[in-house]
Structure 1
Amino acid sequence: MFSHIRSFMTKTKSTLFTFNNEPFSKFSILLIIILDIFLFVTILTGIDSEKDMSPSVSVKYPYQCKNHFDPEYQRSVWNSATRGYIYDTFPFSEYESFYIPTHSAYYSGKKVQTYIDKRVAPLCTELYEKIAVFALSDLFKNNKELKNNLRNDKRNVLSEINSIEKRYNTALFEKISSTQQDRDKKIRDKYYTLLEKEKSIDKQIKEIKAVSAYKGYQEYADFVNTNRETFNKEYDSYAFWQPFISFLYLLKFTLPLLLLSLLAHRFSISPVRKVSVPNKLVTLISSHIIIITLLPILMDVLRLIFHIIPKRFLEKIITFLYQYGFIFLGYYFLMFLGIVSIGLVVFFIQRSVAKREKLRKEMKEKTLYIDAYNQSRCPNCRNRVDYSKNYCGFCQEELNRVCSVCHKRTPKHIQYCIECGA
């Protein structure tokens, strides 16, 4: 199969861009592009449907689940009162730290039904069930909303207090006498009222039931502590093997299509087949399907290589260097890698340029030799000569050679024998 692929790739250009040995018209090129886009989108859609059997790591272990098992994770919760973040760590104490991801399915009549994604790992599903015991209760939801509202109220109160403190010297409010203007008294009274309101809001926030006091919270915390090591092992194992499993599902969809296309291509160009328009159409379409099918396969192969070598191997090397204080070796290696990479790029560019220059010179020489033969001139000194003779009488240049096939004399600098064509 691979030898046929190599043979196919050498003929790709003429097969993909010509038909009946004639280049495509602009309209035909447009239709071919539309066909390629349709095939590519269809193949990618089919691959995605197969890959759903092996969900990505972020789907199997959502961050809403993974964060609970990470003791170093800090959940940032926005506090509207202070206009800053509160960093909540396990065991979480903020209402906002508990969230159960759900998906919605829409039905006729604008009915909505929520459900938990079945592709999620069992440990995550069980974790959500533990959280749901207290987080989905009416009391929890009401207190969560109440706490948010109180923080918003406190933000507004603090905003007014700050505004007054910027405009007035509040330290003098105690000295305001009854003889002074009513406006100053009103500002003073408003200021003290706002301070009392702030204290009242703080008191109400403190009186809200703590998250840890809900029934089911302790069971949730015990579940996380008990299963943290198991979760980490399962997560690391799945994160490593998931790309390989996903690649197998990709092959499950693409290999049959690739094999059928290769067989159709080989059948259409078989020497025993009659050269006809239908066969050429089969060759054209199968060629495009092969190329389009190979693209996602090659992309996933590169992704696997990156997954194994740089991401895993280099990560361990960097960890080792940091651990033993040899990180400077890593920088030396990066410099060496950069020098070698740039050097190789320059080398291949120069080699390509040299090859093109050599080919250009060879083509020029061949053209000069052919012109010299047609004009009966010596290719070396450009004087007129008789090619029935073996040497130039002016410069002693050899004019003819013996053909290795027919053993007859033929011009030395002409590529093929003029007697037998060999």
Structure 2
Amino acid sequence: MFSRIRGLLSQFFSRTRTINNEPLNKVSLIVIIIVDIFILINVFTGLDDISRWHISPTEAYPCYSEWQNYRIKTTKDKDYEIVRLSLSSYTNNQFSFRGNYQQAEAGHLGKVSQTCLQYADYKDKIKNSEKQQIIKTIEQKQAKISRLEQANSTIKSQYDSTLLEKIAGQSSEQSINQVSAEKAKQALEENNRQISTLKQETSTLKNELLTKPESISFIAFIKDNNRFQEVDKGYQQASFWYPSIQLGFQSLFLLPLILIALLVHKFSQRRGYGLVSLISWHLLVIFFIPLIVKIFEFLQVGAIFKFLFDIISAIFGGLLFLINYLYILLIPVIGFGIIQFFQKFVFNAKVQAASRVQKSRCVNCAKKIRHLDTYCPHCGYYQYIECHNCHNLTYKHLSYCKHCGTSQVSSNL
């Protein structure tokens, strides 16, 4: 196993740094590295773009987060807050929540939830200048209440200090406070009266806003459990499948590139086009890197992870750390599969040798040689191996002896 891995790594670096078994000069190597980096950046950019081709769960269910927050709130003003949020985006008559939600569909696959579009319609009905003015008035009164409460805090601190000075018998001329205890008390009482009045007025305005027919309809809609359950179920399903959909689109982006690079690489090797072979090899490696990265990302967050998570949760309860053991076992298997793929399709010396022998080319560097050449005059590679049965010389890397037809598999290992 380890010798096979070492052999793969040796072949990998040899192909990466040589043209027809001749090492690249430093300038050429730097140019190729720069090109590789540029292509890799563009590949990841393309992957990011295509991964967002299908609308995300948040875009498909844009009302979910706001609706969920409303349901988990326990404050008594949550009805007012949800209505206020609907009016906070109101700047002109052209703005539409439905249109804003449906923008996600433009140039993307997937549809926005119809329930969320109905949610947007209710919010659009609430929007008008009258209700916006009510909101502004409420906010102004709340700001004034905050200022008065802040003033009360300052006055109370001075009032307590003034009382202490009075108890200590200190004269008013020596006091460090700006107001006397009597004036401070009067100011507090006046501010409290104003605060009480403002709170009453604010409460009246909130009730006025919430008793509007549009507000009543909207609140009744979001309190409908069946509607929310429909959105919640759809959102959870979309969240479950979205990583798989992303991986599918990313694979559609990468697999044609990998296939083209592989075909060009094999063609250039057969024809002895060294530079084309080198470039196509680099492209093949570059296209495989993001594919492997995305597969491992998917294993962490995708449907497979959820499947394993559910199984372990059902069998072992809280022992969720066991999923790490599964990954420790699973990832080497995937790595072994990748090695087997390269060994069989990319680094298969037998397939390459058979084609090269037929065309009178070196089994190592693929350059043209004469039929009786024992060593390649280009790379110095010895072309033959002794048959273990008839002891005649036969071609390296071929499956059978050309003299007696005996299998040479054990000899070529």
Same fold at TM > 0.5: yes
Aligned to 1:293: 287
Separation in 2, partners of 1:314, 1:124: 30
Q: 1:94 aligns with which of 65, 69, 81?
A: 81
**Alpha-carbon separation, structure 1, partners of 2:324 and 2:33:** 40
**Residue in 2 that maps onto 1:131:** 123
Task: Mark the CA change 1:182 to 1:234 in structure 2 (over 3 Å): closer, same or farther.
Answer: same
1:128-156: per-residue Cα shift (whole Å, max 9, x none)? Answer: 33224335642244135325523541453
Instruction: Return the alpha-carbon distance in structure 2 between the equivalents of residues 268 and 144 of structure 1.
Output: 76
**Gap regions ≥5 residues in structure 2:** 1-6, 90-94, 105-111, 333-386, 393-410
**Whole-angstrom distance in 2 between the partners of 1:52 and 1:196:** 59
Which SS does the other structure have where 1:92 is aligned? helix
- Whether the aligned pair in 2 keeps the contact of 1:101 and 1:116 (CA below 8 Å) is no
| Structure 1 residue 404 displacement after superposition | 4.3
**Distance (whole Å) between structure 1 residues aligned to residue 323 and residue 307 of structure 2:** 21
Greater strand percent: which structure? 1
The aligned counterpart of 1:302 is 296
Pairing 1:187-266 to 2, within 5 Å after superposition: 187-188=180-181, 189-208=183-202, 209-210=205-206, 212-226=210-224, 227-266=227-266
| Residue 220 of structure 1: how far off its partner (Å) | 1.5
Tell me, in whole angstroms, the C-alpha distance in 2 between the residues paired with 1:316 and 1:222: 39
Structure 1 pair 90–73 and aligned structure 2 pair: CA distance change class (3 A):
farther
Identity %: 22
Quote the offset at 1:29 in angstroms: 3.6
Question: Shift of residue 219 of structure 1?
Answer: 1.5
Residues in 2 aligned to 1:237 and 1:51: alpha-carbon distance in whole angstroms: 18
**Range with greater deviation from structure 2 (213-222 or 309-318):** 309-318
- The letter of the residue matching 1:160 is T
Structure 2 partner of 1:35: 35
Higher relative contact order (CA 8 A, sep 6+): 2
**Residue from 74, 92, 100 that aligns with 1:116:** 100
Map 1:260-275 onto structure 2 (within 5 A): 260-270=260-270, 273=271, 275=272
Q: Say whether the 8 Å CA contact 2:83–2:215 is kept in structure 1.
A: no
The structure that has the greater radius of gyration is: 1
Counterpart code for 2:79? F
Residue 170 (structure 1) shift: 7.4
CA distance in 1, matches of 2:36, 2:128: 50
Structure 2 CA distance for aligned equivalents of residues 304 and 340 of structure 1: 12
- Distance across 2 between alignment mates of 1:72 and 1:44: 39
CA distance in 2 between partners of 1:247 and 1:308 (Å) = 11
Distance 2:173 2:60 in 1: 69
Tell me how far apart the structure 2 counterparts of residues 172 and 99 of structure 1 sit (CA, whole Å). 54
- Deviation of 1:116 after TM superposition, in Å, equals 1.4
TM-score under structure 1 normalisation? 0.58
Q: Output aligned runs, 1:349-388, within 5 Å.
A: none
Task: Quote how far apart the aligned CAs of 1:257 are.
Answer: 1.7
Residue identity opposite 1:41 in structure 2: I
Count of residues in correspondence between the two structures? 309
Change in CA separation of 1:316 and 1:253 when aligned onto 2, cut-off 3 Å: same
User: Secondary structure of 2:80's partner?
Assistant: coil
Hey, what does 2:53 align to over in structure 1? 53
Q: Is the 8 A contact 1:261 1:290 kept in 2?
A: yes
Kindly tell me: are residues 407 and 255 of structure 1, through their superposed partners in 2, closer, same or farther at Cα, counting changes over 3 Å?
closer
Displacement of 1:228 in angstroms is: 0.7
Cα deviation per residue 1:252-289 (whole Å; 9 max; x = unaligned)? 3222222211111111111xx1x3xxx32222222222
Distance 1:67-1:185 versus aligned 2 partners, 3 A rule: closer
**CA shift for structure 1 position 215:** 4.1
Does structure 1 retain, via aligned residues, the 8 Å contact 2:156–2:184?
Answer: no
CA distance in 2, matches of 1:70, 1:149: 25
Alpha-carbon distance in 2 for matches of 1:249, 1:54: 9
2:147 pairs with 150, 153, 161, which one? 153
Shift of 1:70: 5.6
SS for the counterpart of 1:186 is coil
Distance 2:162 2:127 in 1: 45
CA contact (8 A) 1:134 1:140 kept: no
Gaps of 5+ in 1: 1-6, 75-86, 103-111, 346-402, 409-421
1:395 alignment counterpart: none
Write the letter of the residue equivalent to 1:241: W
The answer to whether the Cα contact below 8 Å between 2:264 and 2:277 also exists between their aligned partners in 1 is: yes
Matched, 1:143 2:132: no
Q: Distance in 2 between matches of 1:70 and 1:316?
A: 30
Residues 1:202 and 1:297: Cα distance change in structure 2 (over 3 Å): farther
Amino acid of the residue matched to residue 33 of structure 2?
A: I
Match of 2:79, SS state, is: coil
Partner of 2:72, secondary structure, is: coil
C-alpha deviation, 1:203, in angstroms: 2.8
1:59-101 deviation digits (Å, cap 9, x = unpaired): 3334x64231466533xxxxxxxxxxxx648953336962589
- Between structures 1 and 2, the one with greater helix share: 2
